[in-house]
Amino acid sequence: MGISFKEVSHLYPGLKKKQFTVALDAINLDIAAEGEFVAICGKTGSGKSTLIQHMNALLLPTSGNVIVFDKVITPKKKKNPRLKEIRKRVGFVFQFPEYQLFEETVLKDIMFAPRNFGYSIEDAKNKAIEIAKLLKIEHLLDKSPFNLSGGQMRKCAIAGILSYDPDIILLDEPTRGLDPKAQEEIMELFYDIHKKTNKTIILISHDMNLVYRYASRVIVMNDSKVAYDGDKVSLFKGNIYSQNHLIKPDVLDLIDYLNEKMGYELDYNTFTLDELMKKVVKLHE
């Protein structure tokens, strides 16, 4: 098992003494060490970000335990394993990762994480160049990260996470603030990594179109609890998605319309508009 939550609760202190806000309420959850592409969804304040920050010990539970690759994270700081080892295996791409850029050049910024995790200078440089080529930013290595476009900065920051090859990658709204083309490039990158390496990817997103296209499992948070945990098709077949303040993906809205108005019998196992178009064309051949 990669990540396991055992009766995990998290409380944020309020302004007054003995006043708390419950962010997570007795969460039980298991995520495999490899092979999963999980989306975490829910309205603002439902507990998504708090949940994901427990997965590499950025936050410690108030009660319960989180187990990450056999290392038990407890509420008591002194009893926890070396958190650096956990963070090496579970990489976190923050909502605006470009805000973490700080080195003089893109190359140095990408090298920083592997150097921090014990790579030699030569190995860190080779890994940085390899990842830069993967993200098609090798031509930016000698530039200052602060003189790049928003999309380029985002790719440089992501390269810094990929450079030390974590086993599980956490993504907190990785496409937020990007134009549609850049959004697709980022998501295709992570989906390609998932398919080629079998790494588990865990994504927070409000964009149900992205969730429906890429995720194989959806966890829905509502009022600090897990309201749904299962496959994406089942989520949108009933009323669970609307009860949890989610919007049906565009492709499913169009399928509903075509089935109702045109008498088609299209099913929900269609994840992009291109796939839907091909199915409709085939019906008329």
- Reported as a single tens digit per residue, the pLDDT across 196-206 is 999 999 999 99
Please state, in angstroms and rounded to a whole number, the distance separating the CA atoms of residues 264 and 261. 8
What would the mean pLDDT of 189-194 be, rounded to a whole number?
Answer: 94
- Reported as a single tens digit per residue, the pLDDT across 29-82 is 999 999 999 999 999 999 999 999 999 999 999 999 999 999 999 898 777 767
Q: Is the pLDDT of residue 181 over 90?
A: no
Which of 104, 166, 168, 158 lies closest to 132 in space, CA to CA? 158
Percent of the chain at pLDDT exceeding 70: 100
How many residues can be counted in the chain? 285
What pTM was computed for the model?
A: 0.92
**Residues catalogued as catalytic:** 173
Please state, in angstroms and rounded to a whole number, the distance separating the CA atoms of residues 151 and 135. 11
What would the mean pLDDT of 138-166 be, rounded to a whole number?
Answer: 91
- pLDDT at residue 55, rounded to an integer: 97
Answer whether 51's CB lies under 8 Å from 27's CB.
yes
